[in-house]
Amino acid sequence: MTKTLTILGLESSCDDTAAAVVRHTLGQPAEILSSVVIGQTDLHASFGGVVPEIAARAHAEKIDGCVEAALANAALTLPEMDAIAVTAGPGLIGGVMSGVMCAKGLCAGSGLSLIGVNHLAGHALTPRLTDGVGFPYLMLLVSGGHCQFLVANAADDFTRLGGTIDDAPGEAFDKTAKLLGLPQPGGPAVEIEAQSGNPKRFALPRPLLDRPGCDMSFSGLKTALLRSRDALVAEHGGLRRADRADLCASFQSAVSDVLVEKTRRALRMYLDQNPTKPTFAVAGGVAANQQLRAALETVCVEFGVVFTAPPLKLCTDNAAMIAWAGLERYRQGHVDDFTLTARPRWPLDDKSPTMLGSGKKGAKA
């Protein structure tokens, strides 16, 4: 296998159409030569969630242009690639199909190898793309579509220690913002309000902390918040500024407390493997939250574990992570043929029971 590999990656599993070119030479840091992401937020905004049919059509319309832009930005042509990696699941099936069909067409025309990538593996392997983190490491994926603890043992070997059984935390932030009349995406808006709020004023629940293990639940938290809001509205005829800030601060602390305690449990399970350089990585849009991030860093210090968090633009959906995950597979000699199919569900760890959660951004595992 050549020492230097250049891979084109395609991503279209949710509401971002993306293409990227990644290059890696053995023994050196990986290089992202280009990364193009075309979001669809505006198309779905009035529906309160991603509409699969609209998403699929937009992916089909945009993916060719995305590939052209990614190659142009990298100043490379298709024949200069070693292989094409594409998200083959899990996700919204119409979108995944757009990517898979496009990749198959490009491979058929160019003779390049095709590599089907699990979208979650893309997220989970990002710390290796950005920081060259060695296996095994513990990963918390926490976004609007994902929430799970994974031990990455190898590029194609993950153990899921637990995850959400209903909403992802990002969804809970977004719904909280909506209930309080704050703009979308809710996470940043709630975080700003929370800065001036009292996190102790409302005793919101910390769901599933009374149960062993690393599974989580966030939908009850939103219901509790709704009750507190309605009680305030009934008493005062509306929400005062301080009420909103206190609700946001109380909600944010509840989410952070749950994630921190479950991280402690996940770390204990991971450290039982005696990793040589114990490392914890957090990725996903919610990892941008300063209170959560600081709390997770503190837990890592407590456990003597290295903390790492990839830059936000590589935590949210992108194709550089798919190109990288494909590159890791290709180095190991894995390629797919044209029987590769789009999979709506594709758990990273098929030894663990299926997660029930499947919120506004589709399947979680």
CB nearer to ligand KG4: pick between 162 and 186: 186
Beta-bridge partner residues of 309: none
| Contact characters 343-362, ligand KG4, x per CB under 6 A | ------------------x-
Return the one option of ligand KG4, Zn ion, none that residue 328 interacts with (CB less than 5 to 8 A, by type): none
Residue in 9, 197, 285, 362 binding ligand KG4, rule: CB under 6 A:
285
User: Sign of the C-alpha dihedral, residues 269, 275, 278, 284?
Assistant: negative
Q: Check binding of 197 to ligand KG4 (CB under 6 A).
A: no
In contact, 319 and 128? CB cutoff 8 Å: no
Q: How many angstroms separate the CA atoms of 81 and 23, rounded? A: 9
CB of residue 3 to Zn ion, shortest distance in Å? 30
CB nearer to ligand KG4: pick between 114 and 283: 283
Residues 26-43, buried b or exposed e (16+ Cβ, 10 A)? eeeebebbbbbbbebeee
Return the one option of Zn ion, ligand KG4, none that residue 137 interacts with (CB less than 5 to 8 A, by type): none
| Omega cis (within 30) before 275 | no
Q: Check binding of 23 to ligand KG4 (CB under 6 A).
A: no
Binding range to ligand KG4, per CB under 6 A, among 20-28, 106-114, 184-192, 263-271? 184-192
Site residues for ligand KG4, window 78-97 (CB under 6 A)?
A: none
Q: What angle do CA 94, 95, 98 make, to 5 degrees?
A: 90
CB nearer to ligand KG4: pick between 83 and 141: 141
Helix (H, G, I), strand (E, B) or coil at 19: strand
Angle between helices 169-179 and 186-194 (to 10 degrees): 70
Residue in 13, 98, 118, 143 binding ligand KG4, rule: CB under 6 A:
143
Q: Percent helix, strand and coil across the chain, each rounded to 5?
A: 45, 20, 35
Binding range to Zn ion, per CB under 5 A, among 17-25, 73-81, 201-209, 313-321? 313-321
Q: How many angstroms separate the CA atoms of 261 and 335, rounded? A: 40
Residues that bind ligand KG4 (CB under 6 A): 14, 143-145, 170-171, 173-174, 185-188, 191, 284-286, 288-289, 315-317, 361
